[in-house]
Structure 1
Amino acid sequence: MLLFKPSLLTLALVAAGASISAYAADDVNTTETAEENIEVIQVTGIRRSLQEAQAVKMTSSSVVEAISAEDIGKLPDVSIAESLARLPGIAAQRLDGRANVVSIRGLGPDFSLATLNGREQASINDNRGVEFDQYPSELLNSVVVYKTPDAALMTQAIAGTVDMQTISPLKHGEQTFVVNLRGETNSLGALNAGSTDKGYRGSISYIDQFADDTIGIALGYSRMQSPNQEERWQAWGYPEDANGDAILGGAKPYVRSSELERDGVMAVIEFQPNEQFRSVVDVFYTKFYDEQILRGIEIPGQWGGGWANSGSTSTTVENGLVTEGSFQDAMVLVRNDINTRDADSISVGWNNNYIIDDNWEIEADLAMSKVKRTDIGIETYAGTGRGNGVGAVEPNLGFKYTGDGRYLFDPSLDYADPELIKLGGAFSWGPSIDGNMQDGFINKPEIEDELATLRLSTTYNFDEGFMRSVEFGVNYTNREKNKVDNGEYLTLKGYEIGSGDNYMLTVPDEYLQNPTSLAFFGMGDMLSYNALALYNAGIYNSLDASTVQPERSTNTWQVEEKVSTLYVKADFETEIGDMPLTGNFGVQAVQTNQSSNGKAVENVNGTLEVVDSYGEDDYLEWLPSMNIALGLTDSQRIVLSAARTMSRARMDKMNASASFNYDPNGAGGIYYSGSSGNPTLRPWMANQVDLSYENYFSDQGYFAIAAYYKKLENPVYNETIFLDFEDVIPGVEPGKGQGSFEVPVNGDGGHIAGIEASLSVDFGYFADALEGFGTILNGSYNDSEVRETADRDPIALAGLSDKTFNATIYYENSGFEARVSSRYRSDFLGEVTAISLSRVNVNVQGETVVDAQLGYDFTESGIDALYGLSVVFQVNNLTDEPFITYTGDDARHVRDYQNYGRNFMLGANYKF
């Protein structure tokens, strides 16, 4: 029995495996004879991808969304995250101009999981969230987002699960060879000397079948060398001046030029000697290297009074914000920095399915996912003199608010003059042994994440009756994540530590480069040099930061999780009157053992030492789930889902490390402060209900509206406690041991609720004259209230946008293809990079990002020599939308204003 009666085209797409992984999706074994009734299906491009995605949605018992490639190696967007952001209830956050993480139903990356062919993936960041730009879209066939779970889905999460799927070569059913090549450029040009605004991306895919179609292979290789440019205004903050008005505390604006190199390899080997047995091995490997050149001028403002300037003057104040003024006798710091990220990831899976007889089948799945990442962040400093108050000054450095959150300055010095601006620390930012020794700094964090899984399951199919099948099995996962955080102070070799002299070094001519323009914030040109070459030339001495800052060692940790899951799921089908009712119900028993090794600063026999630290915990959670789909008519249905789900705590908060800092001034009576992780953190939990109405009025048209409610438990937040450090630290002066200590803990909870609607229309359904025109519209509204404890005010959930809206208008006919897509999300709490490459949450301003694409498929031209060739032209960020973050509740208090410009791509695809 079918849920309702989709067309023969839909059945054919499902029977052919469109957008469905045989071991990652559910409810897709539809009538095999449907394929025999159709000889040829002539659907291509956008419309085919929409039909395949719709086929997945309408045949699933759960609430899902899907994306299907328009052809081999051609997912609809440049990145997976951008494609996901066009789905109902899903939004993306940009990083360095690229969409790389997503929020599902208002919940950020911490609350969702990403899988490849149904298997959880290791992550290159400090947490669990997968950065999707790690995965070349050209090597993926489809993506399915599970918004509601069932008991057989091992990677449940409160927000949902994103499953990326490679192609099945046997289901593809024909020999195919595809080549893609695209060139790209950025509208901002090459902002830094030594950078480029030109790049390319290309891929090769080969699919074939052998031995009477019992063996299939799919091979793919992708390479990308993508430039990215950025003008970034970045503020330190907005303290109050003497009059109580908010004023610029300081700024670190710069221009960034980066080049991302990514190589990807995909291989699938499928063996199916008969109808009973199927075995698939798949491998997915990526190598990711990103090099960024950053040049800018750091300007201490109000917070620099007394050491970087002699005070501020306010000329204009608007609604409590100083919008125009100046800093007297101001000094600045010229920075030439280099950031690199080198990451390798590999995922290997082996799936075996054997049908014993008409009733029994068994499945075994073994997989491994591993990631290694090394970041290097090199800061190099230059100025007019060494240390606070030494060197040439700006008598009157004027500033003026631009109205969009940025400021323009009015300098009098020439910051591109190599005789004026020399290498050396312009401010006394160094460690306690010598505050003037810091001429630069290096951050070198390393991450390793390894995840191994084994799943064994058995399914019994009933011959008749209400129950269709029962599946039960066990899944075991072992995950270990390690972080090593190294840091080094850099000091010019000509400076003697502790001497107090004013040694500065003129940049050698061979390292000088063309000056960099900082006109976008009014500072003119700045001195530019090859910072990496200077460092490699050995002009600096380095000092391990952990030798003078014990807390540096405590940023190193290891977290391990061993998870055993027993599950049972029953599928059923029946009728209520003439309406088919199908679905499933089941339960998971999830046993977790978690542990962490770290470092802690402790008092050992009257001496401070960094010692090993360890913590562990174990717990059992029961996760029941139910999905029911009622077919109202041949094309309409209602889906009701209820489940208990969980999202594990961030791994960087589960570490066993602890550290402290000392403030000799005792601001607010607090001399000491400390922090630690918490290896006993429990997961966020949620009891959730989803209700969805879906109307599939054509093969390429549907309307859906869904509402959901999630009752949240165990929110993780940072709790601050106050204690006396006299018992912890030797030599504390009596009466000055008061301190605060911050530790992540589980709190009370709250809820998140929302509604989302989507509409996909092929206008040719209404009139032949409109054949080829269509639109896809969707929007969502979310609301939440989460409290750390019952007596506290609600907190903002990371990733929660109250409103999202997506619109695509397209035309596809006779080989021509055109589309314009727009995605909007309102303000939200996002995660960005902070000092020492750490990650912090900040308010992100709402944005609307518009992309456009034009193409032509010469297969439709009738020219035999061009058969299989198609061309495409794309513009990303068509309206040049900036990425803006701000502090507090005042959107004028901009922290970051990032301008990425427009990216243009021109390419060709050849398939034969």
Structure 2
Amino acid sequence: MSTKLSDAIKTVNRALITCGSLGALTFVSLPVVAQDAETIEEVQVLGIRGSLKAAIDTKREANAVVDAISAEDVGKFPDKNVAESLSRITGVAVSREYGEGEKITVRGSGPSVNRTLLNGQTVASADWFILDEPGRSFNYTLLPSVLVSGLEVYKSPMASIDEGSIGGTVIVKTNRPLELDANTVSVAVEGQYSEKAEQWDPQLSAQYSWKNEAESFGVLVSAVQQERSVLREGLEVLGWRGDDDGYLVPSHIGAAKFEQQRDRTSLFLSAQFAPTEELSFTFNALNSEMEAKNQNQNFLILPNNDRADVIANSGLTSGSVTQSSVEGTGDIFIDYINRISSTETESYDLSMDYETEAFSIHGVIGQTKASGGTLRETSWEYTNSNADYTYDLRSPGVTTDPLTTDAAAFGAGWIWGGEKPTSDEETYAQIDLDFPVEFGVVTNLKTGLKIREAERTQDRKVYSWHGPDTIDASLGGSYLDYVFATCPTLATCGLNDKGNVNIGAPMGGTLTQQIEQNRSAMEAMAFDSLNGVPADYAVSRELAQNWAVTEDITALYVQADFEAERYRGNLGLRYVETQQQSSGWEFSADSWGFYTLDRDWLTPAQMEWVSEDNDYSEVLPSLNVNYDLNDEMQLRFAAARVMARQNWNQLSPYSTYGSLNQADPKGQMGNPQLKPMLADQFDVSYEWYYADASLLAVTFFHKDIDSYLTSHVITEERYDVQTDSMVAVDFTQPLNGQGGSTDGVELSLQHDFGGFGVQANYTYVDANADMARDIATPGSGLVEGASEHMYNLTGYYENDTFGARLMYNYRTEWYKGLHFNGDELWNDSYGQWDLSASYNVTENISLVAEAINLTDEEVVEYNTSKERVMSIYENGRRFVLGARMSF
């Protein structure tokens, strides 16, 4: 047991003794996790109609503003992870950068200010993609939907639920063995066809639950194994650059092909022991791992490097050079990027419930940790600096001379690589007490204490094939020099042995015809040998991207539940203390920010690991009131103060930047002194449960935000290894800025006609920042994650043997934050059709068919104005065929 966990348990034990001796002050809770038993019994209803009714019942009986999806409902969606299931809920939107849902937005609040709890507890998360910065958003690709018994989205908080969300808190519930029949078995065998990759991949899942005859001990085991072949092709523009001439010019324009083989394995174990009717113990363990070997190739032109000629020959759209041509001096190059990545999450918790007529105690100790990132990267660049090219981004197309299939025309450029592992860990302990009382309308007094100790880290190492002693001295130079002398063009050393390939990007011209990547040949030269000469490279730590942020949180809460003839609800107060420490390297600039680990090369004269503290405390009151107008209609009112801590990378002392081989390079850096985002929020809702599986609901919500992030620009020099020179980089650093407000309306309709039915929901969000819009200050006056309009439409049909759903999910454009190069990044409006169908062969066996992204929609991103396109990606359709069995 870790020291942190041991100390936390001791603290909770002391708190429990104190609470017992101060009974008059002990006010709180069987938390949300302890309510699973009632909810799980409700969601085990077969059929589409039954599952929708169970979700409605959860919403109706909740003592807060809640939307839910039941276990059966999750199984009926064509969703392979929880994020995609959540996208069907009113007010919830999902990002689909690689064709699969990854991160969610709730009521216009972006992914970093929403929380996801597994059975009421934090789940650690680490991203696999090297350009993703460690944030607080949960990566849902690690949580297959088949592990889930139900989902609840709390849009209004209660004091007994963990703080940390501005938009909403997602509680993911898993099955428990004592709540299922003994020897319950479910198995799914499916195949998924990815149209872009033209590949079938297996998807397998199984769950077994057992309990003894006395129903005092049970064990449940779930396992999921999913493979997916990802192919994403598209147009990419890697930034827009301005200058004193008043024009905005694209820095890079390319046709990109991204390929990835995902292999995801998830295991879940739940064991319960109930030695008496009053006492029970539950142990949960989750391990979810995804291996992601990926590669990218991208032929690019660099208009900003030829800025004067580009502007002279330009076609303008509102000051943006969206069309131009260059003769004889154009820069063209190809990047071949190969990465081995992974991400793994582990969670373990042990809970105890003791319930008597006089009081109830709920306690939990646990730990969650994640590791992942890019474990190895190697990238190759071949160039031509005397090219002709013409581009037009209005109807995208790029034509080049020489052709990008002329391997002999592209000569040696550079080789680079490295690794960027990250980790996330939290140890927690909590105790909750619930005292039934008869004090006027007050029915329960609840109180609790929770301690969380978390740490998020990032490491960054770079590989330098041009470093010293990378080749035998008799051969001279470096290993990189030897490689490029031996393989001076793409036509040598077998680099073009795989021939040419068409990049199926939504663009015309010759740039989509490319030399196919020969990954095995390049990696052999980079990590093995070339013509018998051993490969070698220096390994250096990039000091500015190595950091650690720790966070110690202590939370106390008091909550009173009340109920009378026509109304019910809760009133609570949560007090939270947060102690953060951000650590990183402070170093002199004489080694360009690098420290070589495996040889005597780059060592800064001054290098010290330094830390900076940032402490704060908050008081968070909450009120939820539900009033029954009659047996079918009810009104809800909720008011609360909520908080969300800033992203880990923003709190760190990091700095990162884009390519230095362009004019006016830009980057980002962190700020360890950022304070949390706070908001006062209000909800008023009307709910009409006019039939057994039917609902009409209208909700108005308001959020008064006290501080959005803004930024300022700091210019610092960075070393360009290719030119052996220092280059000025404009870094954007976040600051706490002015606040703003978010107002919105949610409309939800669900109607069952008996055998078939419809679901429809719509969300309007008006999110505004008080800070004036200043184009010179990236991100100013903008609210991340907010789409003005979102809606879902579902039609379903079901009889004893057949069931089907057709679904459409849509959201208007939204601001996604800053691109890695510092530009503002927006996602254009996106809508997607999905279909699922099942046929019951027997009472226990069903055949399933699913289709995702039926109309083959594209993901389009742009920089502030739509004419400044940043990317147009095609992920393609996916189809699933399989069988599901339950006994």
Tell me the TM-score normalised to structure 2 length: 0.84
| Unaligned residue ranges in structure 1 (runs of 5+) | 1-20, 36-40, 191-196, 426-438, 547-551, 730-735, 765-771, 860-866
Q: Counterpart of 2:454?
A: 479
Q: List per-residue Cα deviations over 1:266-292 (Å, max 9, x = no partner).
A: 111112233311211111111111122
Q: Counterpart of 2:670?
A: 677
| 1:50 Cα deviation after fit | 1.0
Q: List per-residue Cα deviations over 1:502-521 (Å, max 9, x = no partner).
A: 73605434983243223644
Match among 175, 179, 185 for residue 171 of structure 1: 179
1:458 is aligned to 2:458? no
- Over 3 Å counting, the alpha-carbon distance change for 1:30 and 1:304 in structure 2 is same
- Distance in 2 between residues matched to 1:149 and 1:143, nearest whole Å: 16
* 1:17-416 → structure 2 map (5 Å cutoff): 24=32, 44-70=46-72, 77-125=79-127, 126-190=134-198, 197-238=199-240, 248-305=250-307, 314=313, 324-329=323-328, 330-355=330-355, 357-376=356-375, 378-383=377-382, 389=385, 393-394=386-387, 396-401=388-393, 403=395, 407-416=396-405
| 1:634 Cα deviation after fit | 0.7
- Over 3 Å counting, the alpha-carbon distance change for 1:320 and 1:348 in structure 2 is same
- Distance in 1 between residues matched to 2:375 and 2:741, nearest whole Å: 40
Q: List per-residue Cα deviations over 1:456-476 (Å, max 9, x = no partner).
A: 121111257421110111111
Counterpart contact for 1:313–1:326, Cα < 8 Å: no
Q: Counterpart of 2:422?
A: 447
| 1:160 Cα deviation after fit | 1.2
| SS of residue paired to 1:477 | strand
| 1:303 Cα deviation after fit | 2.9
- Distance in 2 between residues matched to 1:267 and 1:31, nearest whole Å: 20
Give, as a single letter, the amino acid of the residue that structure 1 aligns with 2:477.
E
| Unaligned residue ranges in structure 2 (runs of 5+) | 1-28, 128-133, 591-603, 720-725
- Distance in 2 between residues matched to 1:121 and 1:656, nearest whole Å: 24
Counterpart contact for 2:851–2:877, Cα < 8 Å: yes
| 1:500 Cα deviation after fit | 12
- Over 3 Å counting, the alpha-carbon distance change for 1:124 and 1:495 in structure 2 is farther
Counterpart contact for 1:122–1:369, Cα < 8 Å: yes
Q: Counterpart of 1:645?
A: 642
| SS of residue paired to 2:102 | strand
Counterpart contact for 1:559–1:596, Cα < 8 Å: yes
- Over 3 Å counting, the alpha-carbon distance change for 1:516 and 1:675 in structure 2 is closer
| 1:701 Cα deviation after fit | 0.9
| SS of residue paired to 1:600 | strand
- Distance in 2 between residues matched to 1:319 and 1:167, nearest whole Å: 56
Give, as a single letter, the amino acid of the residue that structure 2 aligns with 1:503.
A
Match among 505, 520, 525 for residue 514 of structure 2: 525
Q: Counterpart of 2:826?
A: 843
Tell me the TM-score normalised to structure 1 length: 0.82
| 1:187 Cα deviation after fit | 1.9
Match among 536, 541, 563 for residue 573 of structure 1: 563
* 1:433-832 → structure 2 map (5 Å cutoff): 439-463=414-438, 465-491=440-466, 496=477, 503=485, 505=487, 507-509=492-494, 512-518=497-503, 520=505, 521=507, 522-523=509-510, 524-530=513-519, 531-539=522-530, 541-544=536-539, 546=541, 552-575=542-565, 580-602=566-588, 609-656=606-653, 677-720=670-713, 743-764=733-754, 772-788=755-771, 795-830=781-816
Counterpart contact for 2:813–2:828, Cα < 8 Å: yes
- Over 3 Å counting, the alpha-carbon distance change for 1:127 and 1:509 in structure 2 is same
| 1:674 Cα deviation after fit | 9.7
| 1:718 Cα deviation after fit | 2.3
Counterpart contact for 2:641–2:678, Cα < 8 Å: yes
- Distance in 2 between residues matched to 1:554 and 1:166, nearest whole Å: 41
Q: List per-residue Cα deviations over 1:649-685 (Å, max 9, x = no partner).
A: 1111212457999999998xxxx99975333322111
- Over 3 Å counting, the alpha-carbon distance change for 1:657 and 1:293 in structure 2 is closer
| 1:538 Cα deviation after fit | 3.8
- Distance in 2 between residues matched to 1:137 and 1:42, nearest whole Å: 16
Counterpart contact for 1:235–1:253, Cα < 8 Å: no
| 1:828 Cα deviation after fit | 0.5
| 1:827 Cα deviation after fit | 0.7
Counterpart contact for 1:73–1:203, Cα < 8 Å: no
- Over 3 Å counting, the alpha-carbon distance change for 1:76 and 1:400 in structure 2 is closer
Counterpart contact for 1:379–1:440, Cα < 8 Å: yes
Name whichever of 489-498 and 755-764 sits farther off.
Answer: 489-498
- Over 3 Å counting, the alpha-carbon distance change for 1:796 and 1:243 in structure 2 is closer
Q: Counterpart of 1:14?
A: none
- Distance in 1 between residues matched to 2:881 and 2:656, nearest whole Å: 52
1:853 is aligned to 2:836? yes
Counterpart contact for 2:623–2:638, Cα < 8 Å: yes
1:883 is aligned to 2:859? yes
Q: List per-residue Cα deviations over 1:133-185 (Å, max 9, x = no partner).
A: 11111111111111011111124411111111101222223431111111112
Counterpart contact for 2:45–2:72, Cα < 8 Å: no
Counterpart contact for 1:421–1:527, Cα < 8 Å: no
| SS of residue paired to 1:91 | strand
| SS of residue paired to 2:101 | strand
**Higher relative contact order (CA closer than 8 Å, sequence separation 6+):** 2
Give, as a single letter, the amino acid of the residue that structure 2 aligns with 1:515.
N
- Distance in 2 between residues matched to 1:114 and 1:253, nearest whole Å: 36
Counterpart contact for 1:185–1:904, Cα < 8 Å: yes
Name whichever of 281-290 and 247-256 sits farther off.
Answer: 247-256
| SS of residue paired to 2:90 | coil
| 1:626 Cα deviation after fit | 0.7
| 1:833 Cα deviation after fit | 6.8
- Over 3 Å counting, the alpha-carbon distance change for 1:899 and 1:465 in structure 2 is same
- Over 3 Å counting, the alpha-carbon distance change for 1:449 and 1:52 in structure 2 is same
- Distance in 2 between residues matched to 1:661 and 1:175, nearest whole Å: 55
| 1:623 Cα deviation after fit | 0.7
Give, as a single letter, the amino acid of the residue that structure 1 aligns with 2:389.
L
Counterpart contact for 2:746–2:761, Cα < 8 Å: yes
Give, as a single letter, the amino acid of the residue that structure 2 aligns with 1:57.
K
Q: List per-residue Cα deviations over 1:826-846 (Å, max 9, x = no partner).
A: 1101258746xxx97511101
- Distance in 1 between residues matched to 2:518 and 2:820, nearest whole Å: 24
Q: List per-residue Cα deviations over 1:419-463 (Å, max 9, x = no partner).
A: 4445x20xxxxxxxxxxxxx2221411111110111112111125
Q: Percent identity, please.
A: 24
Counterpart contact for 2:262–2:290, Cα < 8 Å: yes
Q: List per-residue Cα deviations over 1:507-555 (Å, max 9, x = no partner).
A: 4349832432236443323242114444332455434465xxxxx3111
- Over 3 Å counting, the alpha-carbon distance change for 1:365 and 1:664 in structure 2 is closer
Counterpart contact for 2:422–2:459, Cα < 8 Å: yes
- Distance in 2 between residues matched to 1:516 and 1:268, nearest whole Å: 49
| SS of residue paired to 2:867 | coil
Over the residues paired in the alignment, what is the CA RMSD in angstroms?
3.8
Counterpart contact for 1:596–1:655, Cα < 8 Å: yes
| SS of residue paired to 1:82 | helix
Give, as a single letter, the amino acid of the residue that structure 2 aligns with 1:518.
I
Counterpart contact for 2:707–2:740, Cα < 8 Å: no
- Distance in 1 between residues matched to 2:37 and 2:146, nearest whole Å: 27
| SS of residue paired to 2:52 | helix
Counterpart contact for 2:666–2:729, Cα < 8 Å: yes
- Over 3 Å counting, the alpha-carbon distance change for 1:22 and 1:504 in structure 2 is farther
